[in-house]
Amino acid sequence: METHQLHPDTWVDLYADYLFNYAVTRVSDTEIAKDLVQETFIAGLKSAKNFKGDAAERTWLIAILKRKVIDHYRKSNSKKGKAEVRMSYSTQTDAEGDWLEERIADPNSNFENDAMENEELGQAIQNCISKLPKKQAQVFIMKTIEGMETEDICNALGINASNLWVMIHRARTGLMGCLNQNWF
């Protein structure tokens, strides 16, 4: 197994843009994204002694940034009143393989093999995500794109699991409607 070394003196040059783009897509605010990247670098410096070298520097920094994003949402949601929506969510209507993100992730799919079409689809998906209500978009990105755990998302956003799955269902439905209208 290859071990990696930390080189903090190159972080800004090598990773600042990548980390900023990652952060801004999650918080939708350039100033907050800049702050989160700075906080990531500071936390990286403070915890450099804990770096084992099992992951690449960028991977390690992204892991720190993910925690910073979660902390940001926890902080912002702790200031709001907690509202709870209780609805039953049936998995029977959401058959496996029906959702767009599952089809795109299939390596044998001809659907994703056309690079030009895939790029255009990616832009269409981003455009449709931007049209979703903000909280639905956040939940969808955190769960589907970032692959965060349900419990982490619920804690970060101050919602319960039922509410999370309702928002994901609504986001998926909204995305499919938007994509059917604008892409397919």
Q: Cβ(43)–Cβ(122) under 8 Å?
A: no
pLDDT at 113 over 50: no
Q: What is the distance between the alpha carbons of residues 64 and 47, in angstroms, rounded to a whole number? A: 10
Q: Sorting pLDDT into bands at 50, 70 and 90, what band is 96?
A: very low
**Using CA atoms, how far apart are residues 80 and 77, in angstroms rounded to an integer?**
5
pLDDT in tens, 18-60: 999 888 888 888 899 999 999 999 999 998 888 888 888 898 9
Torsion of CA 153, 68, 58, 10, to 10 degrees: 170
List the structure tokens of 101. 């993100």
CATH architecture, range 8-78: Orthogonal Bundle (1.10)
Question: 150-157 and 161-182 helices cross at what angle (nearest 10)?
Answer: 100
pLDDT value, residue 98: 45
- Domain(s) of CATH 1.10.10.10: residues in the chain: 91-182
pLDDT at position 124 is: 79
Residue ranges, CATH 1.10.1740, the chain: 8-78
Length in residues, the chain: 184
Read out DSSP for 4-39?
A: ----GGGHHHHHHHHHHHHHHHHH--HHHHHHHHHH
Q: Which CATH class is domain 91-182?
A: mainly alpha
Q: Which pTM does this prediction carry?
A: 0.48
pLDDT in tens, 54-83: 888 898 998 899 888 888 888 776 655 444
Residue 115 CB neighbour total at 10 angstroms: 8
CA trace torsion 115, 117, 119, 124 (10° rounding) = -170
150-165 burial string, b = 16+ CB within 10 Å, else e? Answer: eebbbebbbbeeebbb
